[in-house]
């Protein structure tokens, strides 16, 4: 960050004692500019034991395979974002009600949070979007394991197929670094769709740690 988005003056990195960290502070109006992680969503869409992957048309990972997904836009819910990205990239329509939370990953060294959903669809019709070269459903033995766009995605896919095979799913929180990963699994004790008084609709899950 070089300039203040409020007044256009230059910003400096300054120590903010209350926060015990350096932040970008405007040299003129004094506004503190906070930097927060970016949130991405991705979806493991399953149809008759096969999972939907798309071949990326852009870097990073151009020509390689990953699950449909992308950045959450301002004003979007996680579910809206993942439904939109899946539709845009593969043409596969996922309903909000089909989505289940699967993995939350912190990639803290690049300040990104990935939220992965899983969904089962009955309609497997694909229409490849402009951000992709191809999109297909793969059985586990057909996955192009050596041509995946992101190394950590291999572990997510293995985990997904393992759970699909047993028909028992957890919610996982992972922490990834350049040196390896750490995964914590949560067991879902109960899941309910609760309509809270206007205007907030809430999907709440009672979660207990395994």
Q: Which of 6, 12, 19, 22 is close enough to bind Zn ion by CB under 5 A?
A: 6
Peptide bond preceding 22 in cis form (omega within 30 of 0)? no
Task: Convert residues 11-50 into a mask of x (bound to Zn ion by CB under 5 A) and - (unbound).
Answer: ---------------x-xx-x-------------------
Nearer Cβ to Zn ion (30/144):
30
The strand pairing partners of 204, in sequence order, are 192
Nearest distance from C-beta of residue 178 to Zn ion, angstroms: 35
177 DSSP β-pair partners: 180
Task: Figure out which of the listed residues 2, 3, 7, 44 binds Zn ion, where binding follows CB under 5 A.
Answer: 7
End-to-end CA distance of the chain: 42
Stretch binding Zn ion (CB under 5 A), from 1-9, 33-41, 116-124, 140-148: 1-9
Residue pair 69/106 in contact by the 8 Å Cβ criterion: no
Answer whether 132's CB lies under 8 Å from 56's CB. yes
Burial class (CB in 10 A: 0-12, 13-18, 19+), 44: buried
Cβ-based neighbours of 167, under 8 Å, separated by 6 or more: none
Residues 44-83 that bind Zn ion (CB under 5 A): none
User: Residue 9 or 188: which CB sits closer to Zn ion?
Assistant: 9
**Nearer to Zn ion (CB atom), residue 26 or residue 107:** 26
Burial of 43 (0-12, 13-18, 19+ CB in 10 A): buried
Nearer of residues 6 and 96 to Zn ion, judged by Cβ:
6
Closer of 12 and 193 to Zn ion (Cβ):
12
- Of 119-158, binders to Zn ion (CB under 5 A) are none
**Contact string 152-171 vs Zn ion (x = CB under 5 A):** --------------------
DSSP secondary structure code for residue 10 in this structure: B
Nearer to Zn ion, 27 or 185 (CB): 27
Backbone angles phi, psi at 165, to 5 degrees: -60, -40
For the bound state, the minimum distance from the C-beta of residue 5 to Zn ion, rounded and expressed in Å, comes to 8
- Please provide the DSSP assignment of 30-41 as one string: --EE----EEEE
We find the least distance from the C-beta atom of residue 21 to Zn ion, in angstroms, to be 20
Binding site for Zn ion (CB under 5 A): 4, 6-7, 9, 26, 28-29, 31
């Amino acid at each position: 960050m070089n300039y203040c988005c409020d007044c256009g003056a230059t910003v400096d990195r300054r120590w903010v004692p209350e926060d015990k960290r350096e932040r970008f502070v405007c040299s003129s109006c004094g506004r503190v500019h906070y930097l927060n992680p970016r949130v991405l969503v991705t979806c493991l869409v399953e149809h008759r034991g096969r999972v939907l992957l798309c071949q990326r048309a852009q870097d990073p990972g151009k020509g390689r395979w990953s699950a449909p997904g992308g950045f959450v836009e301002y004003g979007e819910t996680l579910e809206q974002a993942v439904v939109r990205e899946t539709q845009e990239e593969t043409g596969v329509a996922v309903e909000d009600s089909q989505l289940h939370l699967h993995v939350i990953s912190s990639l803290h060294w690049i300040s990104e949070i990935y939220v992965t959903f899983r969904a089962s669809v009955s309609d497997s019709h694909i229409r490849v979007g402009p951000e992709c070269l191809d999109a297909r459903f793969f059985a586990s033995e057909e996955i192009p394991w050596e041509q995946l766009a992101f190394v950590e995605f291999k572990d997510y896919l293995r985990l997904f197929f393992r759970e699909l095979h047993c028909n028992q799913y957890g919610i996982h929180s992972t922490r990834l670094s350049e040196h390896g990963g750490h995964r914590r699994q949560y067991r879902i004790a109960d899941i309910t769709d609760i309509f809270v008084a206007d205007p907030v609709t809430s999907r709440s899950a009672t979660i207990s740690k395994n």
